[in-house]
């Protein structure tokens, strides 16, 4: 592992990104506060080494960041949207410049493969590019009035402060999904990243500062507060934060949603997934195998869109199962910065314990583990965070199958009869994020995509559940939260809608023909 660390050059990367071994955990973009909260040591799951540490933010620090954000909003909202878009365009250019060191840091701090780390930074670049064009298209509608000499239209205005609570598995992309859109809409942002990946958050703040300083962006447009659930609670309950965008577990989302709803604020919740691929008799195995295997083991099963369930027609079940078991036996598990490996580590030992607990529960409910499983140890696995991806024959009604486990566990089960039976199984879970069907039958694909088909926010045909392009709105239904981020018209959540009526006559006719004489 020492050789890999030398090749990675983590010290050089930290210097490039302006990160110290000890860091403060609150910033207004132009100023770092001398925070004195609990020290958070960021430990890489790759090798168990401490990357750097952060003094977390306190309530006093949070208050200072919010006050500066309020002040910045008063100016930032007046900037023309295309001018705000130009700043975001320059941020995309700066991210291109820092793609390699930031991508490596994402991989090392979170544990995903180097290609996925670089891909996450590319997502940031892509959403910035999308937002630049959008900055000239924040359009409303014009309507015909029933009253003569009147004009009606609607327009959108910025909300104010957008609070962002992000998860460890996409430590930078999800932040930028929110900020790129919120900034061009005229909002300011305050970010509480996962305390499991705080160093990448500091890096993003340092990169953003370079661009914002060069353009005279008001201090406070990009705020950062690193801390635990206490900071998230402050944000969720804060009436000065009209929108809270939270990514994480369903349990966390319910707590945030309740707190924001209590004060009649707006929440954008991207929560748990329990994603399934339906495999029909006509499915092409050449597509099934990479789609199912990458969906299940990519990012070590720590994506909200990871494939958790395979629902396979009984006529092809044995063929599919045997091919997958063979594919699993060929997986290479190890340092994610080595591109020869397919699977890296889980984020920490708590995640490892959850993996083991889920497998034990699956067996206790009558499931059968059909691949090698367990925690890896020895040379190269010193962090204790490496596990073998497992495939389990199970039934959809098992309690553990109904629950999302953030680990590389794939439950495989049968269906018989028509595709409607498979869809019924797929939909019979509390979550509703991503779904897929593998079929060469046009009728089956159309049924899957119909109103009577998949109940998920994402429904794919002949691709897997994992991964999404920024051009489409991202999000799900049911316990996934119902929010939408990224593309399409997701920008509207970051703005308030206003209907305007203008009377350009010399009289005042009332709506619905009402007469009021004085």
- Please list the active-site residues: 270, 304
Strands 243-247 and 222-225: unpaired
| 3-state secondary structure at position 362 | helix
**Ramachandran assignment for 462, one of left (phi > 0), alpha (psi -120 to 50 degrees), beta (any other):** left
Question: Of the candidates 167, 79, 220, 76, which has an alpha carbon nearest to the alpha carbon of residue 485?
Answer: 167
Half-sphere exposure of 88 (CA within 13 A, CB side): 34
Report the C-alpha gap between 345 and 351 in whole angstroms: 10
Quickly count: other Cβ atoms within 10 Å of residue 110's Cβ: 29
Report the C-alpha gap between 365 and 159 in whole angstroms: 49
| 3-state secondary structure at position 310 | strand
Strands 266-270 and 275-279: unpaired
CB 419 within 8 A of CB 444: yes
Strands 188-192 and 222-225: parallel
Q: What are the distances in angstroms from CA 95 to CA 48, 85, 242, 402?
A: 28, 15, 29, 39
Report the C-alpha gap between 306 and 275 in whole angstroms: 7
Report the C-alpha gap between 456 and 477 in whole angstroms: 6
Report the C-alpha gap between 337 and 117 in whole angstroms: 9
Q: What are the distances in angstroms from CA 428 to CA 276, 421, 480?
A: 11, 11, 14
Question: Of the candidates 290, 313, 286, 317, which has an alpha carbon nearest to the alpha carbon of residue 444?
Answer: 313
| 3-state secondary structure at position 403 | coil
Quickly count: other Cβ atoms within 10 Å of residue 396's Cβ: 18
Question: Of the candidates 293, 44, 320, 88, which has an alpha carbon nearest to the alpha carbon of residue 186?
Answer: 88
């Amino acid at each position: 592992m020492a050789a890999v660390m030398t090749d990675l050059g983590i010290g050089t990367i930290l210097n490039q990104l302006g990160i110290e071994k000890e860091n403060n955990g609150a910033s207004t973009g132009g100023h770092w506060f001398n925070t004195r909260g609990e020290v958070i040591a960021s430990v890489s799951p790759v090798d168990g080494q401490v990357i750097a540490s952060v003094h977390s933010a306190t309530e006093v620090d949070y208050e200072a960041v919010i006050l500066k954000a309020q002040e910045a909003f008063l100016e930032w909202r007046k900037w023309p949207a295309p001018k705000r878009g130009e700043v975001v365009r320059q941020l995309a250019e700066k991210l291109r410049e820092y793609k390699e060191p930031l991508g490596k840091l994402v991989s090392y701090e979170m544990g995903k493969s180097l290609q996925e780390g670089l891909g996450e930074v590319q997502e940031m670049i892509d959403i910035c590019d999308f937002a630049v064009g959008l900055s000239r298209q924040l359009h409303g509608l014009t309507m015909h009035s029933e009253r003569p000499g009147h004009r009606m239209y609607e327009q959108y205005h910025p909300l104010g402060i957008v609070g962002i609570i992000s998860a460890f598995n996409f430590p930078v992309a999800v932040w930028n999904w929110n900020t790129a859109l919120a900034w061009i809409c005229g909002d300011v942002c305050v970010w509480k990243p996962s305390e499991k990946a705080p160093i990448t958050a500091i890096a993003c703040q340092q990169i953003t500062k370079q661009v914002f300083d060069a353009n005279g962006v008001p201090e406070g447009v990009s705020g950062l507060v690193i801390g635990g659930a206490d900071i998230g609670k402050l944000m969720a309950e804060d009436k000065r934060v009209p929108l809270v965008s939270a990514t994480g577990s369903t349990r966390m989302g319910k707590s945030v949603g309740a707190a924001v709803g209590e004060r009649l604020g707006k929440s954008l919740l991207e929560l748990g997934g329990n994603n399934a691929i339906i495999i029909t008799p006509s499915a092409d195995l050449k597509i099934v195998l990479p789609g199912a295997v990458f969906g299940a083991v990519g990012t070590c099963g720590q994506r909200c869109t990871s494939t958790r369930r395979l629902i396979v027609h009984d006529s092809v079940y044995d063929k599919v199962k045997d091919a997958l078991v063979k594919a699993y036996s060929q997986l290479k598990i190890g340092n994610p910065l080595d591109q020869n490996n397919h699977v890296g580590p889980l984020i920490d030992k708590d995640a490892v314990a959850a993996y083991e607990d889920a497998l034990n529960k699956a067996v206790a409910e009558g499931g059968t583990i059909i691949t090698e499983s367990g925690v890896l140890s020895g040379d190269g696995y010193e962090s204790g965070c490496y596990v073998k991806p497992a495939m389990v024959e199970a039934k959809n009604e098992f309690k553990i199958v109904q629950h999302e486990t953030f680990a590389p566990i794939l439950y495989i089960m049968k269906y018989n009869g028509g595709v409607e039976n498979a869809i019924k199984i797929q939909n019979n879970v509390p979550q509703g994020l991503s779904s897929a069907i593998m079929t060469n039958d046009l009728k089956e694909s159309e049924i899957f995509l119909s109103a009577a088909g998949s109940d998920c926010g994402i429904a794919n045909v002949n691709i897997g559940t994992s991964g999404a392009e920024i051009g489409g709105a991202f999000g799900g239904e049911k316990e996934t939260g119902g929010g939408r981020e990224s593309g399409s018209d997701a920008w509207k959540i970051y703005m308030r809608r206003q209907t305007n009526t203008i009377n350009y006559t010399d009289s005042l006719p009332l709506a619905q023909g009402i007469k009021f004489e004085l």
